[in-house]
Structure 1
Amino acid sequence: MTRLAIPLFPGFMPLDFVGPYDVLRFLPDTEVVFVATEPGPVRGADGGFALEAQATPEDITTCDILLVPGGRGTRDYAARKPLTDWIARIHETTTWTTSVCTGSLLLGAAGILTGLDATTHWNAIPELEAFGAHYTPDRVVRRGKVVTAAGVSSGIDMALTLAGLIEGDEFAKAVQLWIEYDPQPPYDTGSVAKAGAELVARTPGLIAGGARRG
């Protein structure tokens, strides 16, 4: 049995884990457990999405795959310390330790990324490097058993990469086909390199305004 553990915290970004979850759940004999400092519903970004955590860090002492999502809640390091302490402990037991988007900041706070190449959301690069990581502008970065993904949607790429490493390329290709992951976005602005300096500069304000209206 493979145990996939996903920590939750107030302000997590739903797509950070939902995309990878919908890939990794197809791994044979896989148990998925959601972990939070208290069992029960945990609300995601802007409070509009809640997910039930079945276990606390005290309940889960080992796992095979750790998947750490990001979101606004990653920045509250004092409140997240019980979770980052658990991440540091559980990392010693994992076969794979992974993060999506600003989930890498929690890996950094747990001391896992010191001296490692890693990626994160483009708007969190200074914070990542403050933890001693070397930012690498790739969509998925693997260093040993630590696999980090860039912003939000790249978690699907990371999970498919992991599925290929665990079960082989044919299996991962089959999962990609099953979920019909064939991105054809209407705009070609999905990276800093493509978006242009003006849009990059304006995006944090545009997104913050949209979040307030929502």
Structure 2
Amino acid sequence: MAGAQKYIIGLVFYPGMTSLDILAPQQVFSGFPDVQIHRLWKTLDPVKTDDGMMVLSDTTFGNCPRLDVICIGGGLGMAAVEDDPEILGFLRTQGSTAKFITSVCGGSILLAKAGLLEGYRAATHWALREQLAQLGVEVSTKRVEVDRNRITGGGVTAGIDFGLTIANILYGEEIAKIIQLLLEYNPAPPFDTGSPEKAGSELVNKALFFMQELSSLELAKSAG
């Protein structure tokens, strides 16, 4: 789209993150006209995600330019970094000037700990809603919550909806629709259990136990 405003977007990586939390919005953002995307971490060393994927950052916290949009996701390894002063400090610094402060899944916990969600509504993964509320945030159960310039997505797969929401805000509905079509984003899941409200308490409890086991394994890996 000729004459479109150029936006600078920063996606924060960290060990133990859930890859799809960031890769889904990144895929959407890569279709933006004349966009500059920075994949951020403390160093340029490979980052291992919670599913075993190795990803590379291309920009460090130290040489990151001022961002228009900053985004961070969650992950099974988030507990090991959610109080990291360097990460929280970076979020605060960029959040003080960014046009949009955003997250997917458990990334809202990190935004809250950085003091960036005070007085805002935010979405997160359903299993983290109570934790987010304990941090003083008004919790939304929407798949994507837009509260002024805070845009937050629910769990993992909400990253595509989140990305398309930002596309609409930055470039308008037509561009967002074109990107959705190019991605052939036309979900038709085989099971109707994608939220705790639909899944029922028995399956929710089993899922929580499963997630706790995976998180414990991830913490043990990071400690070792």
Range of TM-score over shorter length:
over 0.9
Distance in 1 (CA, whole Å) between partners of 2:63 and 2:32 is: 23
Deviations 1:181-208 (A, max 9, x none): 0000000000111101111111122345
The DSSP-based 3-state class of the residue aligned with 2:25 is helix
Distance in 2 (CA, whole Å) between partners of 1:78 and 1:12 is: 11
Deviations 1:65-98 (A, max 9, x none): 1111110232224663201110011011211111
Gaps of 5+ in 2: 1-5, 218-224
- 8 Å CA contact 2:67, 2:94 repeated in 1: yes
Instruction: State which of 79, 85, 88 in structure 2 corresponds to 1:75.
Output: 79
Distance in 1 (CA, whole Å) between partners of 2:156 and 2:213 is: 19
Distance in 2 (CA, whole Å) between partners of 1:95 and 1:14 is: 24
Distance in 1 (CA, whole Å) between partners of 2:185 and 2:171 is: 18
Instruction: State which of 26, 34, 37 in structure 2 corresponds to 1:29.
Output: 34
TM norm structure 1: 0.93
Deviations 1:117-144 (A, max 9, x none): 1110011112211221011111111111
Distance in 1 (CA, whole Å) between partners of 2:88 and 2:65 is: 14
Identity %: 32
Distance in 2 (CA, whole Å) between partners of 1:55 and 1:158 is: 23
Indicate the residue corresponding to 1:112 in structure 2: 116
Gaps of 5+ in 1: none
Distance in 1 (CA, whole Å) between partners of 2:69 and 2:128 is: 24
Indicate the residue corresponding to 1:163 in structure 2: 167
Report how far residue 49 of structure 1 moved.
0.7
* Cα 1:130/1:209, change in 2 over 3 Å: closer
Deviations 1:95-115 (A, max 9, x none): 111100001111011101122
Distance in 2 (CA, whole Å) between partners of 1:26 and 1:123 is: 31
TM norm structure 2: 0.89
The DSSP-based 3-state class of the residue aligned with 2:117 is coil
- 1:91 pairs with 2:95: yes
Q: Alignment RMSD, CA only?
A: 1.7
Report how far residue 38 of structure 1 moved.
1.7
Count of residues paired in the alignment: 211
Instruction: State which of 175, 186, 192 in structure 1 corresponds to 2:190.
Output: 186
Report how far residue 40 of structure 1 moved.
1.7
Indicate the residue corresponding to 1:20 in structure 2: 25
Distance in 1 (CA, whole Å) between partners of 2:59 and 2:181 is: 32
